[in-house]
């Protein structure tokens, strides 16, 4: 945990540097130096952010000799997707009702509009 304080997924991803690291890891497994080269973050900063991402379950590390390879873990992303899906269902239902009401209103307005015959 970061500073012994609990951080939820949104707090973890709120930091632009951590989001950049997550984006970099979307391309696949990478070493710290690879991430440093693709960002404007110093090695110590990348390492600190990777530690937080590791502690929060967003990344995993695979040691190979002296090297450490970092990659994304699907668990937290699946949890975020499930949380967002519950809100998507609410909004999809509301937007569906709104679209139906709009179509009824447009049909009623078209029915009241006088037709011009040539």
Report the pLDDT value the prediction gives residue 110, as an integer from 0 to 100: 87
Scan for tokens 């950049």, then name that residue: 20
DSSP run (H or E) holding 111:
helix 74-112
Report the pLDDT value the prediction gives residue 118, as an integer from 0 to 100: 52
Task: Give the range of the structural domain holding residue 61, as residue numbers without chain letter.
Answer: 9-72
Neighbours of 7 (CB within 10 A): 16
Structure tokens at 24: 């970099």
Same domain assignment for residues 85 and 98? yes
Report the pLDDT value the prediction gives residue 52, as an integer from 0 to 100: 95
Report the pLDDT value the prediction gives residue 88, as an integer from 0 to 100: 85
How far apart CA 103 and CA 96 sit, in angstroms, is 11
Report the pLDDT value the prediction gives residue 24, as an integer from 0 to 100: 95
Residue 26 belongs to some domain of the structure: yes
User: For position 38, which CATH number holds?
Assistant: 1.10.10.10
Same domain assignment for residues 14 and 61? yes
How far apart CA 21 and CA 42 sit, in angstroms, is 12
Q: Are 31 and 70 in contact (CB under 8 A)?
A: yes
The pTM assigned to this predicted structure is 0.71
Q: Give the 3-state secondary structure of 7-72.
A: CCHHHHHHCHHHHHHHHHHCCCCECHHHHHHCCCCCHHHHHHHHHHHHHCCCEEEEEECCEEEEEE
For residue 5, the SS3 value is: strand
Domain count for the chain, please give it.
2
Q: What is the pLDDT along the chain (118 residues), one digit of tens a residue?
A: 334 345 689 899 999 999 999 999 999 999 999 999 988 889 999 999 999 999 999 999 999 999 999 999 999 999 899 888 888 888 888 888 888 888 999 988 888 877 666 5
Same domain assignment for residues 52 and 83? no
Residue 85 belongs to some domain of the structure: yes
């Amino acid at each position: 945990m970061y500073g012994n304080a609990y951080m939820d997924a949104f707090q973890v991803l709120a930091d632009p540097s951590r989001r950049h690291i997550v984006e970099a890891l979307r391309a696949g497994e990478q070493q710290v130096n690879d991430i440093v080269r693709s960002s404007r973050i110093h090695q110590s900063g990348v390492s600190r952010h990777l530690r937080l991402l590791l502690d929060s379950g967003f990344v995993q590390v695979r040691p190979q000799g002296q090297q450490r390879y970092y990659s994304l873990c699907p668990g937290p992303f699946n949890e975020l997707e499930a949380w967002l899906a519950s809100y998507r269902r609410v909004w999809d239902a509301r937007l569906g009702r709104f679209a139906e009401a709009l179509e009824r209103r447009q049909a009623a307005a078209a029915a009241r509009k006088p037709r011009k015959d040539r």
